[in-house]
C-alpha cells in the first residue's frame, strides 16, 4: 500500500484527512465492497497531528493526566454522544464510518474524520488503540504512562483477539 501511495504526488499543504481519503481511493480496487479503517499521524512544528476513521481510540498521557482525544467511530460512541449510558457489549462496537473509494457513496467524507493535534513534550505519550476493552482497562486502572507498554503487552482477556497498539513518545 505504501508503495502505491508513494507514487501519487501530494502538495505540502494537503491536509492529513485528505491524505487518508486519497490513500483509500488509490488502493481500493472494488469500490462496492472494499473499505478501510485507518489512523495516521505526522509530526508538525506544534506536535503530532493525528487523524482517524474507524475503531481506534487515541489516548494522550501527559505526566499524570490521561485524556481521550479521539473516540472511535462506533455504535457505542454514537449512543454515548446521544446521552445514553452504555455498558459496552461487543456488538455495540460496530464501526459506523469507513474510508472508501470516491466511487462509493458509503465512504466517509473529510468532515467525518476525527482529528487531534497533540503537543509532543518529553512527558507525553500518545496511545493509538483499536481494542475498546483495552482502552477501558487502561482508563479504569489509571495506568501511568511509564507502565503503559508493559500493561498492553500483558493484557490478554480470554476470548479477545489481540490487536496492534501504537505508542508515540518523545
Distance separating alpha carbons of residues 75 and 86, to the nearest angstrom = 10
> What pTM, to 2 d.p., does this model score?
0.77
Distance separating alpha carbons of residues 170 and 156, to the nearest angstrom = 27
- Mean pLDDT (whole number) for 155-167: 78
Query: Which one, of 126, 124, 115, 117, lies nearest residue 46 by Cα?
Result: 117
Mean pLDDT of the chain, nearest integer: 79
Cβ distance 43 to 120 under 8 Å?
yes
> Has residue 34 got a pLDDT over 80?
no
Cβ distance 28 to 101 under 8 Å?
yes
- Angle (nearest 5°) at CA 140 between 136 and 141: 120
Query: Which one, of 5, 79, 81, 76, lies nearest residue 40 by Cα?
Result: 5
Distance separating alpha carbons of residues 113 and 99, to the nearest angstrom = 9
Distance separating alpha carbons of residues 112 and 126, to the nearest angstrom = 22
Domains by residue range for the chain, with CATH? 2-169 (3.60.40)
Q: Output the nine-digit C-alpha cell for 19.
A: 491524505
Q: What is the pLDDT of residue 89?
A: 56
The pLDDT tens digits of the residues spanning 42-98 come to 899 999 999 988 888 899 999 889 999 988 877 777 677 777 776 655 555 676 666
> Which letter does DSSP use for residue 107 in this model?
S
Distance separating alpha carbons of residues 168 and 104, to the nearest angstrom = 33
pLDDT, greater one: 82 or 33: 82
Q: Place 120 in a pLDDT band, splitting at 50, 70 and 90.
A: very high
Number of H helices, E strands in the chain: 5, 7
Amino acid at each position: 500500500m505504501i508503495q502505491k501511495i508513494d507514487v501519487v504526488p501530494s502538495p505540502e499543504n494537503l491536509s492529513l484527512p485528505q491524505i487518508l481519503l486519497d490513500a483509500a481511493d488509490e488502493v481500493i480496487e472494488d469500490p462496492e465492497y472494499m473499505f478501510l479503517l485507518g489512523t495516521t499521524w505526522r509530526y508538525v512544528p506544534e506536535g503530532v497531528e493525528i487523524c482517524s476513521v474507524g475503531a481506534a481510540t487515541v489516548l494522550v498521557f501527559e505526566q499524570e493526566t490521561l485524556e481521550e482525544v479521539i473516540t472511535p467511530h462506533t455504535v457505542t460512541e454514537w449512543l454515548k454522544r446521544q446521552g445514553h449510558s452504555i455498558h459496552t457489549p461487543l456488538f455495540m462496537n460496530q464501526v459506523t464510518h469507513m474510508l472508501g473509494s470516491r466511487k462509493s457513496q458509503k465512504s466517509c467524507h473529510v468532515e467525518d474524520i476525527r482529528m487531534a493535534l497533540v503537543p509532543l513534550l518529553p512527558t507525553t505519550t500518545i496511545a493509538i488503540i483499536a481494542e475498546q476493552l483495552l482502552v477501558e482497562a487502561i482508563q479504569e486502572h489509571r495506568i501511568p504512562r511509564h507502565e503503559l507498554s508493559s500493561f498492553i503487552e500483558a493484557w490478554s482477556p480470554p476470548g479477545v483477539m489481540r490487536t496492534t497498539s501504537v505508542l508515540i513518545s518523545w
